[in-house]
Amino acid sequence: MAGHSKWANIQHRKGKQDKLRAKLFSKLSKEITVAAKMGDPDPDKNPRLRLAVKEARASSMPKDVIDRAIKKSQGGDADTYEEIRYEGYGPGGVAIMVEAMTDNRNRTASNVRSYFTKNGGDLGQSGSVAFMFDRVGEIVFPASVGDADTVMMAALEAGADDVESDDEGHWIYCADSALGDVAAALESALGEYQSAKLIWKPQAPAEVADMEAAQKLMKLIDALEEDDDVQTVTGNFDLSEDVAAQL
């Protein structure tokens, strides 16, 4: 069983440092509102909303904030958000996937293009890097739920495709269309998960060993993550141990 890859640790770096709590809540609220507006406002009848609410709770979002986000979807003046995906290359040739949710496509496109340009990257056309990623469901559990073998058995029984475990926790992957069912089965077997969501999983992460390229890359990712319209940012890279230790 492989150890959990560095790209995922980098992807969750901001959350662990708790530096963007307010922005995180804003992004989670937007996802809840959109999920509720697109389907039923009852989480029990809306798989996407149910996962969004659980993700918000796992991030310690207050219940009243979650409820307001759901109620906002039912109002006549609720914002209309469009989901857009951007693809490009960062410093060092790293492929980057950006998912945004916006009420102004022109503003978001201009901002995202600017972040790439100013930080040594290049925004590409749709499909330019997507082939380097797999769209999968990811369910995360803390290490305390059990050892790697126990989690692997539970994952296989739940219909998952792969598991990565290390001292920090367990990352379970499944088909994107099966996320809701697999997450529910795993919750019954292992207890409450930390998160369950759709992600872009790199097929073959490339190592970044150059410090200057790594610094520019992280600056680009920071700029993208800090944009209010951007929901997720994923790159297909691993930082070398020497570079990671200095960042």
CA distance 136 to 159: 13
Q: Give, for all 247 residues of the chain, the pLDDT tens digit.
A: 344 444 444 554 444 455 567 788 888 999 999 888 888 889 888 888 888 998 888 888 999 999 998 988 887 655 688 899 999 999 989 999 999 999 899 999 999 999 999 999 999 999 999 999 999 999 999 999 999 999 999 999 999 999 999 988 999 999 999 998 999 999 999 998 988 889 999 998 888 888 888 899 999 999 999 999 999 999 998 887 777 777 7
Q: What is this structure's pTM?
A: 0.81
Residue 195 pLDDT = 87
| DSSP letter assigned to residue 128 | S
Q: What is the pLDDT of residue 243?
A: 74
Q: How many helices (H) and strands (E) does the chain have?
A: 10, 10
Output phi, psi for 2, to 5 deg: -75, 150
| Spatial contact of 203 and 95, defined as CB atoms under 8 Å apart | no
d(CA 180, CA 194): 14
DSSP state, 167? T
| pLDDT on residue 209 | 83
Radius of gyration of the chain (CA): 18
Return the closest-CA partner of residue 26 out of 61, 78, 73.
Answer: 61
**Quick one: fold of 6-73?**
Arc Repressor Mutant, subunit A (1.10.10)
CA angle 200, 169, 215 (to 5 degrees): 55
Q: Which residue is listed with tokens 């969750």?
A: 12
> In sequence order, what are the residues at sequence separation of 6 or more whose Cβ sits closer than 8 angstroms to the Cβ of residue 137?
173, 174, 175, 176, 178, 179, 182, 183, 196, 197, 198, 199
The CA distance from 34 to 82, in Å, is: 9
Only one residue has tokens 């992460």, namely 205
Residue 136: the pLDDT is 95
Pairwise CA distance, residues 119 & 116, whole Å? 5
Give, as one character, the DSSP assignment of residue 143: G
